[in-house]
Amino acid sequence: MAFIHRRGLLLGAAALGLGALTQRAQAQAPATAPAPAPAPTGPFTHAPLPYAFDANEASIDARTMELHWRFHHGAQVANLNRALVGQDAFAAMPLDELLMNLSRVPEAVRGAIRNNGGGHANHSMFWDIMGGRGGEPTGDLLAAITRDLGGWGEFRNRFNAASMGVFGSGWAFVTVTPSGALAIATRPNQDNPLMDGQRVLMGNDVWEHAYYLRYQNRRNEYVGNWWNILNWEKISERYAAAMAGTLRV
């Protein structure tokens, strides 16, 4: 019996010691995931957000914004620069021209450039058009929506349906021609209409990482609330740039 008692004491002491070590390790662990390794020097940069992480709180929580911008988009910029090491001719291209010329990119790096270059273009646009107060567009943009997409209410319904219709991960876009004609399109993964020679006016990210912390599997709620944070002044500027031939990504 003494042996059993002594053995129990030893096991208890070991458990207490392990618990103390675990607590110390947890206390010393970083609160967030470590930043990704620095990317090789390259032509593309991860620009700061044009607003605070909580600027879109009406629809997207600050933590999701930070993780999305810092780690998802940041990794895409880093990986794009890595893929372009030794590809001097393609590294010298602006991002839109690079995506329009994917068929010329060596097959060994084409997939990495497609995925990460597309992601960089998509997210650069995405951050640019948010940070607003929603509402409705006005002026030439509203006229184009009425002409090409059936009016404001019909446009919203059709765009929401397109967003919900993306199977798995992808994007819903509004494309724009140099004459100002609008159309709704979707793409899987991080593909971008630039890969088909089209320009993007606006688009919504329907990858789960864009909304899961707040909405879990309720993509429809995210898609519906997203309109509340759009910056229609910025989107109108993109529309004018498209007709002037100066819209890039």
Q: What is the pTM of this model?
A: 0.85
Confidence of residue 33 (pLDDT cuts 50, 70, 90): very low
Question: For residue 127, which of 81, 179, 76, 182 has the smallest C-alpha distance?
Answer: 76
pLDDT in tens, 149-184: 999 999 999 999 999 999 999 999 999 999 999 999
Question: For residue 249, which of 184, 165, 163, 190 has the smallest C-alpha distance?
Answer: 190
The pLDDT value recorded for residue 42 is 87
Concatenated DSSP letters for the chain? Answer: -HHHHHHHHHHHHHHHHHHHHHHHHHHHS-SSPPPPPPPPS-S---PPPSS-GGGGTTTS-HHHHHHIIIIIIHHHHHHHHHHTTT-HHHHTS-HHHHHHTGGGS-HHHHHHHHHHHHHHHHHHHHHHHBSS------HHHHHHHHHHHSSHHHHHHHHHHHHHH--SSEEEEEEE-TT--EEEEEEETT--GGGGT-EEEEEEE-SGGGTHHHHTT-HHHHHHHHGGGB-HHHHHHHHHHHHHT----
Q: Residue 3, class by beta-carbon neighbours within 10 Å (0-12 exposed, 13-18 middle, 19+ buried)?
A: exposed
Q: Residue 226, class by beta-carbon neighbours within 10 Å (0-12 exposed, 13-18 middle, 19+ buried)?
A: buried
The pLDDT value recorded for residue 20 is 40
Of 29-33, 75-79, 152-156, 208-212, the range with the lowest mean pLDDT is: 29-33
Tokens 């392990």 map to which residue?
Answer: 18
The pLDDT value recorded for residue 222 is 98
The pLDDT value recorded for residue 61 is 98
What is the token pair recorded at 151?
A: 């009016």
Task: Reply yes or no on whether the pLDDT at 6 is more than 90.
Answer: no
Rounded average pLDDT over 196-201: 98
Phi, psi (5° rounding) for residue 58? -60, -25
Domain 59-249 is in which class? alpha beta
User: Cα-atom radius of gyration of the chain, to the nearest Å?
Assistant: 24
Tokens 């909304």 map to which residue?
Answer: 211
Question: CA 176 to CA 199: how far, in whole Å?
Answer: 6
**Domain segments of the chain: what residues?**
59-249
Rounded average pLDDT over 100-120: 98
Task: Reply yes or no on whether the pLDDT at 208 is more than 70.
Answer: yes
Phi, psi (5° rounding) for residue 86? 85, 0
Task: Reply yes or no on whether the pLDDT at 7 is more than 70.
Answer: no
Higher pLDDT, 8 or 96: 96
CA distance from start to end of the chain: 77
The pLDDT value recorded for residue 11 is 37
Phi, psi (5° rounding) for residue 186? -125, 155
Task: Reply yes or no on whether the pLDDT at 19 is more than 90.
Answer: no
Confidence of residue 133 (pLDDT cuts 50, 70, 90): very high
Rounded average pLDDT over 202-226: 98
pLDDT in tens, 38-89: 545 789 999 999 999 999 999 999 999 999 999 999 999 999 999 999 999 9
Average pLDDT, the chain: 88
Of 19-33, 107-121, 182-196, 216-230, the range with the lowest mean pLDDT is: 19-33
Tell me if 200 sits within 8 A of 174, measured CB to CB. yes
The pLDDT value recorded for residue 131 is 98
